[in-house]
């Protein structure tokens, strides 16, 4: 599996779209539309494999499952009163906290004739992150961290404390493997925020869906875990250097040509879906 994952990372060309410093006005909805656009473009062969980096300020991204919470509107109000924007993403998973200390990365591949196995996509991202931080002695593990928010089998942790989660989205023969990396700040404070959301939106109701019983102490940032004050810019540099090792050519880009029109269509779609999900009766 590791060799196959390495082959995914090794590409003749990697295109890079860096949206990590666009500031507070850059909405998570714009990110979802960008990845869907790139999945379509890469899947059609009109773009090479593409890496995208992005940061969102003061945002909580909910999963579709979160919209089924019995007291959802109370939970949303709690977050909004704390000055947070609440968005529902167009893929699976559960609530995640994003802020200026969290770097998000997407790797977008074409889903070839053979098809990219789901685990292979996860392994490629895991391998990339391990290489980015290979200069540190800390071991990075991938397994579900019980008590974390948005738990999954590819939670990345050091010493049992989660600092990142990986997800995937597949659309139009493109595969986007996405990760959020808690670079700086307090991982447990982010977890406490999401815990309060669930306590408010679920209360003691028995629900059809399972929601995490969040234990804030199992989450931390890379700065906390590595004992070094890292910034998003530091980690971006590590990302670029590591990706460059795997690329025949790495070049910076933005959405262009037909992608701009595609993006407008996807943005309208995710915005409408988001509004519908946030106002739906649970």
- pLDDT (tens digit, 9 = 90+) per residue, 236-253? 999 999 999 999 999 999
21-75: pLDDT as tens digits: 999 999 999 999 999 999 999 999 999 999 999 999 999 999 999 999 999 999 9
How many whole angstroms separate alpha carbon 216 and alpha carbon 205?
Answer: 22
279, pLDDT greater than 90: no
| Residue 57: both structure tokens together | 């300020």
Confidence grade of residue 282 (pLDDT, cut at 50, 70, 90): very low
Q: What are the catalytic residues?
A: 150
The per-residue pLDDT of the chain, averaged, comes to: 93
Per-residue DSSP letters for 106-137? EEEEE--TT---HHHHHHHHHHHHHHHTTTSS
Given a cut of 80, whether residue 118 has pLDDT beyond it is no
Task: Specify the higher pLDDT residue, 118 or 194.
Answer: 194
Task: Name 156's bridge partners.
Answer: 142, 164
Sheet with 11-19, side-by-side order of all strands:
141-142, 155-158, 161-171, 174-182, 102-110, 50-54, 11-19, 247-252
Say what the pLDDT of residue 281 is: 55
Which domains does the chain carry?
A: 2-279 (3.30.930.10)
């Amino acid at each position: 599996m590791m060799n196959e994952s390495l082959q995914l990372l090794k590409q003749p060309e990697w295109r890079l779209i860096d949206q990590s410093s666009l500031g507070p006005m850059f909405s998570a909805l714009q990110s979802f539309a960008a990845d869907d656009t790139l999945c379509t473009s890469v899947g059609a062969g009109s773009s090479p494999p593409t890496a995208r980096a992005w940061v969102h300020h003061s945002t909580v991204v909910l999963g579709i499952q979160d919209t089924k919470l019995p007291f959802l509107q109370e939970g949303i109000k709690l977050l909004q009163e704390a000055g947070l924007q609440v968005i529902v993403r167009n893929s699976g998973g559960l609530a995640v906290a994003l802020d200026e200390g969290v770097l998000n990365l997407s790797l977008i591949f074409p889903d070839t004739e053979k098809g990219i196995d789901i685990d292979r996509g996860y392994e490629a991202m895991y391998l990339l992150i391990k290489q980015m931080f290979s200069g540190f002695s800390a071991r990075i593990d991938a397994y579900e961290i019980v008590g974390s928010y948005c738990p999954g089998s590819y939670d990345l942790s050091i010493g049992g404390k989660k600092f990142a989660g990986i997800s995937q989205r597949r659309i139009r023969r493109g595969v986007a493997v996405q990760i959020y990396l808690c670079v700086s700040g307090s991982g447990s404070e982010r977890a406490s925020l999401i815990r309060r959301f669930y306590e408010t939106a679920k209360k003691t109701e028995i629900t059809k869906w399972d929601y995490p019983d969040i234990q804030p102490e199992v989450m931390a940032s890379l700065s906390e875990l590595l004992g070094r004050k890292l910034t998003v810019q530091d980690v971006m540099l590590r990302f670029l250097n590591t990706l460059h090792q795997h690329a025949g050519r790495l070049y910076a880009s933005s959405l262009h040509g037909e992608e701009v029109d595609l993006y407008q269509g996807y943005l309208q779609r995710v915005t409408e879906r988001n509004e519908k999900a946030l106002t739906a009766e649970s």
